[in-house]
Structure 1
Amino acid sequence: MKILFLNTTGGYFGGVEQNIALATKGLTERGHICFFACQKNSAVEQQSFDALFTSTWNLGTVPLDSILAQTKPEVIYVHKFDDIESVRRVSKNIPIVRMIHDHDLYCPRRHKYYALSHKICTKKAGIGCYLDLAFLERGPKGIAFTSIRNKLNDLNENRKLHTLIVGSNYMKGELLRNGFSDGQIALLPPCIAPFAEPPKEFPKENTILFVGQLIRGKGVDTLIKAFALLKNRYPFPVTLEILGTGNDLENLQTLVQEEGLTEVVKFIGWVSHDKLVSFYDNASIVVVPSRWPEPFGMVGVEAMLRQRPVVASKVGGIPDWLEDGKTGFLAPSTEAQAFADKMLILLQDKKLAREFGMAGFRKAETAFSFATYCERLETILMGGNL
């Protein structure tokens, strides 16, 4: 089968592009021919990314209809792409399958929680988005106006697609809420890059680990407050390692100082995926304290593949992979005391922490394996059972 991937960006720019690369490797190994077209190249490991495909194009220089004439794909596989109407216009009878990676399609604010109250939104996209100031967005030059009407029109264009792939039951529910039919939605959790090394033994040191962007929606402030509460109750040395970068870094560093935690909280910065494994292996607990409804939450599954227990917010797609009381603990988002209580249990009961880690490993190896992902994706792209 010939497959044309479409995305805004080329190269190993972020998680979406990592997903495309992994899917391409798996589909190529299964005998399919993969092409790629994007609106711009990121220049991040561009050559190695482009080498995965039979051919690649930049839509700024080669129009899509010309690419379709050259490749004659049997399916167009769209990822992050704003102008879906232009794809539909030139695709003719070629099926279009789109993977929805985040909340951008059905949430004009993109975060799926309210700007002022920070409570999770449970409404469909519509006139109410104006009341939540969704016509404003943060750009490189500060706050700018954006068109909600255009976003609602794009949502309507996406309702006409053949198939939409989502990573969690939460995202499927949001599409159903916004007028998509159950028959056009396929559930496929994101592929997790396999680790080359087997997991290491549980560490003797007590280290709590966060991996992700340092933005308000990730709830790192809640984690720091929970860690402060934990330190007051746990008599042994324990460290919090925070991996990632983002626009909330300075606020979080100030919070650490205010809580008197500068000696035990380490801001590591950005770490490449191949180096993450050592941080997972050195961790006693991995925490996902998101206040926004995570579309899925891949960090948690990666932690499970390293046999580490997870404490995470009960929001979005997280309950799809975290079994409360079996592979870790779920806690109400933004409740620091609840997170502190759950982390304390796992620090005090290392046997339970190991049991959770092993149960998570077994689940991740079966439900979220790379082979399972590729087989399911192949079936969906070939028009099989959703």
Structure 2
Amino acid sequence: MRIGHYDARLWAQGGIASYVRRVGQAQARTGHDVVFLCRASEGDAPSNTLEVENDRALFSAAQARGLDVLHLHGPVETLPEDRVPTVRTVHTNDASCPSGSRYLKRTGQPCDRDYSVAGCLWGHLVDHCGSRRPHNTWANFQRIQQEQTQAAALPTITVSRFLKEQMIRSGCPAETLRVLHSPAPTLSGTFSPPPRRTPPHFVFAGRIEPQKGLDWLLRSLGAVDADVHLDVAGTGDEGYLDTLDQLVADLGIREQVTFHGWLDEDAVYALIEQARGVVVPSVWHEPAGLVTLEAAALGRPVVASEVGGIPEYATDAFALRVPPRDTEALAGAITTLARDPDRATAMGRRGHDQARSEFAMDRFLRRLDAFYDDVRSSTQQPVSS
């Protein structure tokens, strides 16, 4: 099958790039002819990346290359009627939240309200969940309308049940939506238990921004009833990083925290392998939280917030989940893994097994191929929920 994956900024750092690279490479290994399409290449884009100037050029290139399926990972401005079979994966909250954040910056809590123009405009102005600049606010509401229109027009995969439910609540038709959980990375090697070094290390990996909850995690370290060390892999806005650095100083935990900056995938994996566990303290509704699957694939237990799609990935088998901003609960979960290496090992083994079964790449690809076949065999392109 000839498959094209498209997003305007396909290779920008982030979860979508990791997902598309992982899936596209796995498809190629099974014999599919895969091409990546984007507006502009960034970073270490694969050699089979094709730049297109606009949507017209995108769909023309899909026709010219004889694609059997064009797989979109972001919205497009226009959908020509004579397009090749086209599907979409929704990775974000943009189809149910104008700002895409589902995060109330004023209170530091996840947003659970249904989408409405009046309610979400109030959120922008009062809860600071989106820009209060009129031009940006207008653009946010235009984007959600675009997302909802395309969700009605295209067979659409959501990366969690949470996303699907939120999209339906916001007005998207259920009959075009299908849930397909993302795959874990395929890593070689057998299960290796977490090291028993003292103090045990825990890892935070991801973008460093307020909704990721790193400030909450840092404040929780002082309540952990064990000597632990936190490794932070990631980067973000310099001003916010300075704020966190000052927080570490104010809390007196400088010796307990190491900021590693941005690390490539292999370096992040190496850091996780040396850890007792991985902490995902998000305080917004994460659509999926793929770092939980990376931890599982490496045989490490997870402590994670009970928000968004995270519980669908960080299952009870290998994760301890806590309410967002509950410092006592977060500290208690970290303490449990720090003081009980046998439990951490057992949880890590279950996660490792689950990454190779329920979240295995070959299982994911079989379901994705079946989805493609459904779309290709349908002249109208709708799929069952």
Correspondence for 1:36: 36
The letter for the 1-side match of 2:112 is T
- The equivalent position to 1:328 in structure 2, one of 319, 325, 328, is 319
Deviation, 1:137, is 5.4
Aligned positions, number? 369
User: 1:88-107 counterparts in 2 under 5 A?
Assistant: 88=79, 90-92=80-82, 94-107=84-97
Structure 2 residue ranges without an equivalent (≥5): 376-383
8 Å CA contact retained: 2:102, 2:129: no
CA distance in 2, matches of 1:103, 1:61: 22
Deviation, 1:220, is 0.7
* Cα distance, 1:163–1:65 mapped onto 2, change above 3 Å: closer
Deviation, 1:176, is 1.3
SS in 1 for 2:356: helix
Deviation, 1:166, is 1.2
Correspondence for 1:239: 229
Correspondence for 1:67: 61
* Cα distance, 1:311–1:61 mapped onto 2, change above 3 Å: closer
The letter for the 1-side match of 2:39 is Q
* Cα distance, 1:117–1:244 mapped onto 2, change above 3 Å: same
8 Å CA contact retained: 1:301, 1:321: yes
8 Å CA contact retained: 1:78, 1:97: yes
User: 1:82-231 counterparts in 2 under 5 A?
Assistant: 84-86=76-78, 88=79, 90-92=80-82, 94-127=84-117, 128-133=119-124, 145-147=136-138, 148-205=140-197, 206-230=200-224
Deviation, 1:293, is 1.0
CA distance in 1, matches of 2:321, 2:329: 9
Q: Which moved more, 1:274-283 or 1:330-339?
A: 274-283
CA distance in 2, matches of 1:202, 1:64: 46
CA distance in 2, matches of 1:131, 1:266: 39
The alignment status of 1:285 with 2:282, answered yes or no, reads no
The alignment status of 1:363 with 2:357, answered yes or no, reads no
* Cα distance, 1:195–1:12 mapped onto 2, change above 3 Å: farther
Q: Which moved more, 1:281-290 or 1:172-181?
A: 172-181
8 Å CA contact retained: 1:192, 1:302: yes
The letter for the 2-side match of 1:287 is V
- The equivalent position to 2:47 in structure 1, one of 50, 54, 66, is 50
Deviation, 1:60, is 4.8
Deviation, 1:197, is 4.2
SS in 2 for 1:189: coil
Deviation, 1:328, is 2.3
SS in 2 for 1:99: strand
Query: 1:340-371: CA deviations, max 9, x gaps?
Result: 11111222222111111111111121111121
Deviation, 1:339, is 0.6
8 Å CA contact retained: 1:98, 1:164: yes
Query: 1:277-335: CA deviations, max 9, x gaps?
Result: 221111112111110011111111111112111111111111112233x3121111111
Q: CA RMSD in A?
A: 2.5
Structure 1 residue ranges without an equivalent (≥5): none
Q: Which moved more, 1:313-322 or 1:66-75?
A: 66-75
8 Å CA contact retained: 2:104, 2:129: no
Q: TM-score, normalised by structure 1?
A: 0.87
Query: 1:65-119: CA deviations, max 9, x gaps?
Result: 43244123332211123xx341x1x242633211111112321121112232333
CA distance in 1, matches of 2:282, 2:320: 14
8 Å CA contact retained: 2:109, 2:324: no
SS in 2 for 1:159: helix
8 Å CA contact retained: 1:12, 1:18: no
8 Å CA contact retained: 1:229, 1:340: yes
Deviation, 1:144, is 6.2
Q: Which moved more, 1:243-252 or 1:265-274?
A: 243-252
Deviation, 1:133, is 1.5
* Cα distance, 1:352–1:367 mapped onto 2, change above 3 Å: same
Percent of aligned pairs with the same amino acid:
25
Q: TM-score, normalised by structure 2?
A: 0.88
